Structure 1
Amino acid sequence: MVIVMTTKIPVGISGCVLGNKVRFDGGHKSNRFILDTLSEFFDFHPVCPEVEVGMGVPRPVIRLIELEGRTALVQSKNESVNYTDTMYRYAENKINTMQPKKLCGYVVASKSPTCGMQGVKVYQQGGVRKDGTGLYTAKLIEKMPWLPVEEDGRLNDPVLRENFIARVFCLYDLYQSVSDVPSPAEIIAFHSRYKFTLMAHDPLSYRALGQMVANIKDTDINEFFVQYRLGLMNALTKRASRKNATNVLMHIQGYFKPFLNPVQKKELTRLIHDYRQGVLPLLVPVTMIQHYLSQYPNAYIAQQQYLNPYPQGLKLRYGL
């Protein structure tokens, strides 16, 4: 089933990554894939926390330090200028205003003391550790734990790129499929379309979420939606392994066995095997399955989002 996009998908982004000249030195760090490709599908909402709290452009360099048992945001050359509480208050308010927009993802600037997601330098007595998170992004993840968040630099990795974009499209599909006042029928129908996707990413979550959905009528529907959304997005954060994806492909293959002749069966088996061995990308066996689906229609397989998780024009499965 192909996701029908009635509008572009709302996605937050660090302003500098979108090309806005808001960095400390008046520069930017625009990402061509975002500007040239993703902008066709995503409606980006740029944010620069440092500018929006009044630091200005250009501005003194800031960094994270360990201060009295907590991570603080200060000027690098004058640590008495402390932005920690100001940034936390800003982040709290900003994120509250963004939640009604139903953002489906967020791209943050790597290594930034405000926006970095991981590996941000934190200065302390005796040295520097590189396991920090920017204060704004830390608050974003705390308040919206279901939201797909990724760094601009990591989008250069084809596996991380595909995983992030698949999660964004999945969350968008969830919001499009389920009303503001959710119904059990809407959630059950949505979950049914993502069974193979969950099997590929996290078999344990596939079973756990399936059990949740089976008992949906025994819970408060609004609380259920919140818990289901979080469980779904956490499951998809785990990248689909070749082993799990192979199991899904073989499962789908089983639906066609009554219709395929021996030569066709052997060819599809070979493509799946070659994918598992890393000889072929995922796109090849999936394309063959879609070909057989057009010849031998199956309503259950056709609705599975695993076969069409995002527009083919993104070419994301070429590198998987």
Structure 2
Amino acid sequence: MPDPAPAKPRIAISACLMGEEVRYNGGHKQSRYCRGLLSDYFEFVPVCPEVAIGLGIPRQPIRLVGEASNPRALGTVDNRLDATAALAEYGREMAAKLDDVCGYIFMQKSPSCGVERVKVYREDGLPQFETGSGIYARVFCESRPSLPVEEEGRLCDPVLRENFIVRVYAYAAWQQLLAQGLSRHGLTDFHARYKYQLMASHPQQYKALGKLLGMATTASLEEVAAQYFSGLMQALKRPATRGTHANVLMHISGYLRHYLNPSDKEELRALILQYRDGIVPLVVPLTLLKHLFRLHPDRYIAQQVYLQPHPETLSLRNAI
């Protein structure tokens, strides 16, 4: 099965999640999952925008105030403290500086780092119904729209967790492709390897991206590649469902039809349907498929990222 990506892709992360005592009260919000398990697979780059712009430790807390679509980051004790412009500028600066990261894990609910659902207050101090995004996170994400981002709290959801890690390794694989030198053959080969991963996330986008690559013979290769990558990351952002996974598994099992006897075919089909119906996790039919392809190798299937989009030892597909 294909190697999902280079060893230890770099991921930016809110520094408090790595156990750094950078919060307003001098504390941290260490994530055992990130600092523990994920640190074995990724090189983390800790960032605390509030400390970086000089707010200090400990410090007056800030909160979002005003219109939810365009709030200000003001001090909770003295609202003359306005960190909005500084946080936004630092977001633009880091989006340019962290050009080698393949993902970003933000601290949820933070007025600087929360990606969404951050509490916004009215001028009179009462909370609003509408929520917003942290100032730094919003500007950073707008500057790097294709970069995989996630909030630490959402990584507790096994489907969202697996989806984020899939996107990080896809991003890293793309950067590796660019580093090797972009070519039409390389781009076509990349798309072929991601066929079933794309089909699991967004079948329609897989077809659209294939049509886009057909333009590579007449349009600028760099322009087509940029559009392709943007479409790829947007497609992979949609989490695969049990239904789309089952559809992909059925497609892949078709490559074994000339090698399996009727009872083996039925066993494989039954496991795929059990997965679709929520009886067994994805790892069960996948394990059988991998075993069968070891017995009956297929060159095209062997290159498919879908079968191993991230290190098996992460056990991400044991829970979905």
Q: TM-score, with normalisation over the residues of structure 1?
A: 0.96
Task: Tell me which residue corresponds to 1:214.
Answer: 214
Q: Which is further off, 185-194 or 169-178?
A: 169-178
AA partner of residue 110 (structure 2) = S
SS of aligned partner of 1:153:
helix
SS of aligned partner of 1:73:
strand
Contact 2:25-2:59 at 8 Å conserved across structures: yes
Contact 1:114-1:134 at 8 Å conserved across structures: yes
Alignment of 1:96-111 (within 5 A): 96-99=96-99, 101=100, 103-111=101-109
Contact 2:122-2:128 at 8 Å conserved across structures: yes
Task: Tell me which residue corresponds to 1:21.
Answer: 21
Q: In the comparison of the two structures, how many residue pairs are matched?
A: 318
SS of aligned partner of 1:23:
coil
AA partner of residue 64 (structure 2) = L
Q: Deviations over 1:153-192 (max 9, x none)?
A: 1111111111101110111111123336421111111110
Contact 1:3-1:173 at 8 Å conserved across structures: no
Structure 2 regions of 5+ residues with no counterpart? none
Contact 1:178-1:187 at 8 Å conserved across structures: no
AA partner of residue 234 (structure 2) = N
Evaluate the alpha carbon distance shift between residue 52 and residue 302 of structure 1 in structure 2; reply closer, same or farther with a 3 A threshold.
same
Task: Tell me which residue corresponds to 1:254.
Answer: 254
Task: Tell me which residue corresponds to 2:116.
Answer: 118
Shift of 1:7: 3.7
Q: CA–CA distance in 1 between the matches of 2:255 and 2:273?
A: 18
Q: Deviations over 1:291-310 (max 9, x none)?
A: 11001110011111100011
1:282 lines up with 2:298 in the alignment: no
Contact 1:72-1:84 at 8 Å conserved across structures: yes
Task: Tell me which residue corresponds to 2:229.
Answer: 229
Task: Tell me which residue corresponds to 1:177.
Answer: 177
Contact 1:2-1:310 at 8 Å conserved across structures: no
Evaluate the alpha carbon distance shift between residue 243 and residue 5 of structure 1 in structure 2; reply closer, same or farther with a 3 A threshold.
closer
SS of aligned partner of 2:54:
coil
User: RMSD of the alignment, in Å?
Assistant: 1.6
Task: Tell me which residue corresponds to 1:295.
Answer: 295
Shift of 1:131: 2.2
Q: TM-score, with normalisation over the residues of structure 2?
A: 0.96
Q: Deviations over 1:270-289 (max 9, x none)?
A: 10110111001111111111
Alignment of 1:156-167 (within 5 A): 156-167=156-167
Contact 1:178-1:186 at 8 Å conserved across structures: no
Q: Deviations over 1:24-74 (max 9, x none)?
A: 000110111111111111111110000000000000010011169831111
